[in-house]
């Protein structure tokens, strides 16, 4: 971990004493969308300041420890050139630094973990190294100032513009004030929206507001998707790595979810709800076998991030799996918009749930050889640095994507999603909503491959703020397909590009969107930089 801290400190050392920082584009949040936004702004000549709450950039790819959830065509199309370059770099990093077998080294589509969920399941610290390498030239050249372990604390607003954002160090409490023509909110939970009194929504909108078939009759602003504290384990047969009994183990061992429709029994079980049919389904857990065709899902393989058979004999004592399952989704409370003390209580309980799941597998289920890999998380408690956030605060946007634009069920008879003239990218994923804090079970329905409209990145009122993460103009429902890795990357990259265009041309983003000539010129630049703005003909997920 030392070389990463040295890298981050090198990016900060020259500016350690500075109380005020000025740049062209300020990015609050260095997660998946934030990093993509930074690169887009930097390659277009902008001076950028980017903060990050943890000491790892990358968000859900790294500090949240979630291998990429992607659509089936990502190797060929349906993402930006920059995102595919990131994926290529992951494979190149393994080929350069890891003792791969000859067969694995020669595989063009190397999947280090051979997990079910992605074609590129891998260890999170590899993503950290790759993303740091992508930013390194800009830090060395002084074009990017990276502030790790800083969070926004105050926003200075004048009318409909943000003048400055004050950020606070989580290490020593010192503050810095960042001023810029444009600010991008790439925080994991839309923190700038709350601090700057930017109009936004949380949780479920009502059906009256959105017309969505899966929305409730009344708005439920505190009904938010579950979050998850992920962790990694390997399995070393014949050894005992049982952790200390978690303080809340008895509660979680006996906990029966009270959801609608009903959960089939205890949470800590191999039985859960099928996301699509909502009927009980059986899963298995066995580190010693792969999935059997037609059989139940083996959860150990589902998000496996290291398959030892891809590496030289003896390099890995066992496979490594990332634990992000139904059994450790936490929905008994929210991280926002609760006050900090309440949010901290729920975060601690979510950590207890994850540790209880591990302890249950080691003791009740007899898998004593499961070893918590805190070294891969970069933490002392063995859990991810940051919870996996599925749902953020969301701007009240110039344009909001609703279920009727993308849902395959509601668009019966139509072969594709709504076409947006102001497209700045594409994405594809099912509308996949996990159980929520209001007691709803899964909502998981098919969606068409979709576009990302520029209007969804723009607040209705504030002129110089853009959404650069999961906080864009989507609903609780459509967040379910706009929240995954390549889509968040595209959202961030587009936000960085439009901010740069606004600085260079003097035309604000709203004008770029609403002027056909300016929009066409901007979209041509996006295409030249490797964006895809429309889909070929493909089938729904």
The CA-atom distances, in angstroms, between 319 and each of 270, 332, 373 are: 20, 32, 12
Separation CA 210–CA 527 (nearest Å): 32
Q: What is the arithmetic mean of pLDDT over 351-368? A: 98
Separation CA 71–CA 474 (nearest Å): 19
Separation CA 164–CA 179 (nearest Å): 4
Residue with structure tokens 């080691």? Answer: 362
Asked whether the predicted pLDDT for residue 11 surpasses 70, the reply is no
Beta bridge partners of 433: 443
The CA-atom distances, in angstroms, between 295 and each of 276, 282, 298, 352, 367 are: 18, 10, 9, 31, 21
Asked whether the predicted pLDDT for residue 236 surpasses 90, the reply is yes
Asked whether the predicted pLDDT for residue 246 surpasses 90, the reply is yes
Question: What is the per-residue DSSP string for 170-202?
Answer: TTT--EEEEE-SEEEE--TT-HHHHHTT--EE-
pLDDT of res. 8? 56
pLDDT of res. 14? 54
Contact 65, 324 (CB under 8 A): yes
pLDDT of res. 294? 75
Separation CA 275–CA 430 (nearest Å): 11
Helical spans, DSSP H, in 264-408: 299-302, 340-362, 374-377, 403-406
Separation CA 128–CA 35 (nearest Å): 11
pLDDT of res. 3? 46
Percent of the chain clearing pLDDT 70 (strictly above): 96
Separation CA 454–CA 495 (nearest Å): 8
Residues in the chain: 541
Map out the domains of the chain with their CATH numbers: 2-204+393-528 (3.50.50.60), 227-377 (no CATH)
Segment 394-451, tens digit of pLDDT? 999 999 999 999 999 999 989 899 999 999 999 999 999 999 999 999 999 999 999 9
- Give the mean pLDDT of the chain: 95
Q: Is 79 exposed, middle or buried, given 0-12, 13-18 or 19+ CB atoms closer than 10 A?
A: buried
Separation CA 307–CA 235 (nearest Å): 11
The per-type count for the chain, helices as H runs and strands as E runs, is 16, 23
Nearest to 120 by CA among 59, 72, 57: 72
Q: What is the arithmetic mean of pLDDT over 168-191? A: 98
pTM of the model: 0.96
Contact 499, 463 (CB under 8 A): no
Segment 182-200, tens digit of pLDDT? 999 999 999 999 999 999 9
Separation CA 78–CA 490 (nearest Å): 10
Asked whether the predicted pLDDT for residue 471 surpasses 70, the reply is yes
Segment 38-73, tens digit of pLDDT? 999 999 999 999 999 999 999 999 999 999 999 999
pLDDT of res. 1? 40
Separation CA 90–CA 78 (nearest Å): 18
Task: Record the tokens describing residue 427, joined without a space.
Answer: 């994405």
Beta bridge partners of 232: 322
| Phi, psi values for residue 148, rounded to 5° | -75, 150
């Amino acid at each position: 971990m030392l070389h990463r801290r040295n890298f981050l400190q090198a990016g900060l050392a020259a500016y350690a004493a500075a109380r005020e920082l000025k740049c062209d584009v300020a990015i609050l949040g260095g997660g998946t969308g934030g990093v993509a936004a930074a690169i887009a702004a930097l390659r277009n000549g902008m001076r950028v300041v980017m903060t990050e709450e943890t000491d790892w950039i990358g968000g859900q790819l790294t500090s949240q420890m979630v291998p990429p959830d992607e659509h089936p065509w990502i190797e060929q199309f349906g993402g930006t050139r920059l995102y595919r370059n990131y994926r290529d770099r992951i494979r190149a990093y393994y080929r350069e630094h890891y003792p791969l077998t000859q067969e694995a080294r020669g595989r063009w589509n190397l999947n280090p973990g051979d997990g079910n969920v992605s074609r590129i399941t891998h260890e999170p610290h590899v993503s950290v190294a790759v993303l740091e390498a992508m930013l390194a030239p800009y830090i060395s050249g002084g074009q990017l100032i990276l502030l790790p372990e800083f969070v926004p604390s105050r926003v200075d607003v004048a009318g409909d513009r943000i003048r400055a954002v004050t950020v606070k160090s989580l290490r020593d409490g010192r503050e810095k004030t960042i001023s810029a023509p444009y600010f991008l909110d790439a925080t994991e939970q839309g923190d700038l929206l709350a601090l700057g009194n930017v109009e936004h929504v949380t949780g479920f909108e009502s059906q009256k507001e959105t017309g969505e078939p899966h929305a409730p009759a009344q708005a439920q602003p505190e009904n938010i998707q579950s979050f998850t504290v992920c962790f990694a384990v390997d399995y070393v047969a014949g050894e005992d790595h049982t952790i200390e009994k978690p303080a809340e183990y008895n509660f979680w061992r006996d906990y029966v979810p009270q959801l609608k429709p009903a959960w089939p029994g205890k949470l800590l079980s191999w039985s859960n709800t099928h996301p699509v049919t909502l009927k009980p389904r059986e899963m298995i857990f066995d580190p010693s076998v792969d999935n059997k065709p037609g059989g139940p899902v083996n959860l150990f393989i589902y998000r496996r991030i290291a398959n030892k058979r891809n590496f030289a004999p003896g390099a890995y004592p066992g496979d490594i799996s990332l634990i992000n399952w139904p059994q450790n989704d936490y929905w008994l409370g929210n991280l926002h918009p609760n006050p900090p003390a309440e949010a901290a209580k729920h975060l601690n309980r979510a950590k207890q749930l994850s540790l209880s799941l591990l302890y249950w597998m080691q003791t009740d289920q007899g898998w004593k050889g499961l070893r918590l890999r805190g070294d891969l998380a970069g933490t002392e408690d063995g859990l991810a640095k940051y919870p996996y956030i599925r749902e953020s605060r969301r701007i009240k946007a110039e344009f909001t994507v609703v279920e009727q634009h993308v849902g395959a069920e509601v668009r019966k008879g139509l072969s594709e999603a709504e076409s947006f003239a102001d497209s700045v990218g594409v994405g594809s994923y099912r509308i996949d909503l996990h159980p929520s804090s209001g007691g709803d079970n899964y909502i998981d329905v098919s969606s068409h491959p979709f576009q990302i409209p520029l209007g969804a990145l723009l607040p209705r009122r504030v002129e110089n703020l853009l959404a650069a993460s999961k906080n864009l103009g989507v609903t609780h429902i459509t967040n379910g397909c706009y929240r995954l890795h390549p889509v968040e990357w595209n959202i961030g990259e587009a936000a960085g590009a439009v901010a740069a265009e606004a600085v260079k041309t003097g035309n604000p983003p709203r004008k770029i969107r609403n002027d056909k000539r300016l929009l066409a010129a901007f979209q041509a630049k996006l295409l030249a930089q490797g964006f895809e703005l429309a889909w070929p003909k493909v089938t729904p997920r």
